[in-house]
Amino acid sequence: MKQGFIGTSSDGTRGVRWLGAGLAIATIALGACQDPNAGGAPTKWTKAEPGSHEEVETLPSVPPRPSSLSVAALLEKAKEQFSPLPEAVESRNNPITEEKVTLGRMLYFDPRLSKGGDIACATCHDLEAFGVDVREEGGHRLATSLGFQGQKGDRNAPTVYNAGLYLAQFWDGRSPDLEDQAKGPVLNPVEMAMPDEATVVATLKAVPGYVEAFATAFPGQPDPITYDNMAKAIGAFERQLMTPGPFDDFLAGKLTALDEQQLAGLDLFMNAGCIQCHTGPAVGGTMFQKLGTVKPWEGVTDEGRFKITKAEADKLVFKVPSLRNITKTGPYLHDGSITSLEDMVQKMATHQLAKGELTPDELSSMIAFLGSLEGRLPEEYIAKPTLPGSGAVVQEPVEDEGEPAEGEPSEDEAVEDEAQPEPEPAGEPG
DSSP letters for 294-327 = SS--TT----BTHHHH--GGGTTEEEPPP-TTGG
Residue closest to 286 by CA, chosen among 173, 407, 401: 173
Rounded to an integer, what distance in angstroms lies between the CA atom of residue 238 and that of residue 172?
20
The number of CA neighbours under 13 Å toward the Cβ of 97 is: 14
Helix (H) or strand (E) holding 343: helix 341-352
CA 396 from centre of chain: 36
Phi-psi category of residue 248: left, alpha or beta, with phi > 0 → left and psi -120 to 50 → alpha = alpha
DSSP alpha helix (H) spans, 11-142: 16-31, 71-79, 98-109, 121-124
Cβ-defined contacts of 252-256 (< 8 Å, 24+): 252/84, 253/75, 255/36, 255/37, 255/71, 255/72, 255/75, 256/36, 256/62, 256/63
Q: From CA 107, how far away is CA 201, in angstroms rounded?
A: 12
Name all contacts of 67-71 with Cβ < 8 Å and 24+ positions apart: 69/37, 69/263, 69/264, 69/267, 70/37, 71/36, 71/37, 71/255, 71/263
- Per the annotation, the verdict on 413 as an active-site residue is no
* Catalytic-role residue among 191, 260, 374, 424: 191
Non-local (6+) Cβ contacts of 38 within 8 A are 62, 65
CA-based angle 10:14:18, to the nearest 5? 105
Q: Is 332 exposed, middle or buried (0-12, 13-18, 19+ CB in 10 A)?
A: buried
> Amino acid letter at 5?
F
Catalytic residues: 191
